[in-house]
Amino acid sequence: MATIEDVAKLAGLSRTTVSRVINDQPYVTEEKRQRIVQAMKDLGYVPNSSARRLRSQKTETIAVLLPRVTNPFFGNLIEAMEQKASEWGYQVIVCQTHHSRKKEIDYLQLLKTKQVDGVIMASLVNDWKDVEPYLESGPIVFCNEYMEDASIPMIHMDHKTAAYEAAVHLLEQGCKHIAYASGGPESHLGAMRKQGFLEALEEYGRPFLDELNIDWAIDVSDGQKVFHLIRSDFPYIDGVFTGSDEVAAGLIYEASSSDWKVPEDLAVVGFDNQMVSLLMVPSVTTIQQPVIQMADKTVEVLIQQLLHPGAIAPKRYVYPHQLLLRNSTKRREAAIQ
C-alpha cells in the first residue's frame, strides 16, 4: 500500500507538499501540484484513514443505537439517518441494543474509545446517570426516546398527547372497556404514552383495571396472542390501544379468522403508520410520526455539535403527530379515509 512518503519520493518533493495537495491547501505551484497528482495516480495512492483519525482526533463516524433494525419504525429511522449522514461525509455504525442495558452501554463505549465522534440514541433502557458520563467523550443526541432530566438535544414527538388522542378517539367511538397492549421494557416514552392513555380514560370516567394492562406485546404474533387472551378471558373488552401497528395487525388478523368483527366488536388503534396498517382489512387507525424529518433533524443537530462544539444550547425539538382515522375504529359514521 502506497503511503504519502512514496508519493513524495516519486514526485521528488516532500511529504508536506504532498499533504498540501491532498488537503487542497494553498501555496503549491501548479506545476508541482500536477506532478504530485500524477504520482498519486501512478501509485494508486489513497490516504490512510487510521492515520488521519489519529492525527486529527476525528473519525467522521457516528453510532446509531436502536433496539432492532427490522422494526419498521427504526428501519425508516436509520435509513434516513444514513442517507443524511453520508451527505455530510459521515459513516454510520448500526448498534442494535435489543433492549439490553449491557449492550447499550457497550455501544456507548465506542464514544470513549474514539471509534465514533458522536452518538444518536434511539434506544434508551439505561438510567440517565449511567449514560451521562459518556457525554464527556463526545456529543449524544436523543431521537424518539427522551427524558426530562437530560440536558442534551432531544428530537421526538409528544407521545403523551398522541396516546391521549388515540384513547379519546376510542372512547368517542363508544368503547367502554379499553385494553392497553404495549410492550418491551419500560422507557420514559412508554410511560408517557401510558399517562396520556390513562388521562383520557379518567376524563371520560372510565376505570382502568390491571387485567386491561398487557405489557408484553411487541410484534405480530404477540398481537395474535392478545386477541385470544381477550376473547377467552375478557370478552367484554371492546377496544384496544396498541403500541405498534404490528401488534394491531396481529390482533386484527386473528379476529378476522374468528367470529369477532373489527371494529364492531373490537376497535383497534395502532402506532407508527407502517405500510401494513394501510394494507390490513380493515385498515388500521394509527398515529403517524414524521420519521424522516426527525431523522434528518437528529443527524443535523449532532453534526452541528461536532462542527461547532458548545456553540448551541441543547434544545428540544418536538415534532407533531397525526392520528390517522381508518376503518379499524370506525364504529360511528364520522371516520374518514
Partner DNA sequence: TTGTACGCGTTATCAT
Partner DNA sequence: ATGATAACGCGTACAA
Does 253 bind its own copies (CB under 8 A)? Our answer is yes
Which among DNA, its own copies, none contacts residue 83 (Cβ within 5 to 8 A by kind)? its own copies
Beta bridge partners of 287: 323
Stretch that binds DNA, among 43-51, 140-148, 188-196, 297-305 (CB under 7 A): 43-51
**Given 19, 75, 184, 195, the residue binding its own copies (CB under 8 A):** 75
Cell of residue 186, nine digits: 419500560
* Nine cell digits for residue 79: 435509513
Question: Pick from 37, 43, 94, 229: which binds its own copies (CB under 8 A)?
Answer: 94
Lookup result for grid cell 464514544: 111
For DNA, the binding residues in 49-108 under the rule CB under 7 A are: 51-52, 54-57
Please report where in the chains the cell 501512478 appears, as a residue.
Answer: 42
Rg (CA), the chain: 26
* Ramachandran area for residue 310 (φ above 0: left; ψ -120 to 50: alpha; else beta): left
Rounded distance between C-alpha atoms, residue 25 and residue 17, angstroms: 9
Q: Give SS3 for 252.
A: helix
The nearer residue to DNA, 89 or 205, going by C-beta atoms, is: 89
Specify which residues 94 forms β-bridges with.
64
- For residue 90, give every residue at least 6 positions away whose Cβ sits within 8 Å of its Cβ, in sequence order, or none: 60, 61, 62, 117, 299, 303
Binder of DNA out of 3, 161, 293, 322 (CB under 7 A): 3
Judged by the rule CB under 8 A, the positions of this chain that interact with its own copies are: 1, 46-51, 53-54, 57, 59, 61, 68-70, 72, 75-76, 78-79, 82-83, 86, 91-96, 109-110, 112-115, 137, 220, 246, 249, 253, 256, 275-276, 279-281
Judged by the rule CB under 7 A, the positions of this chain that interact with DNA are: 1, 3-5, 12-17, 19-20, 22-23, 26-29, 32, 45-48, 51-52, 54-57
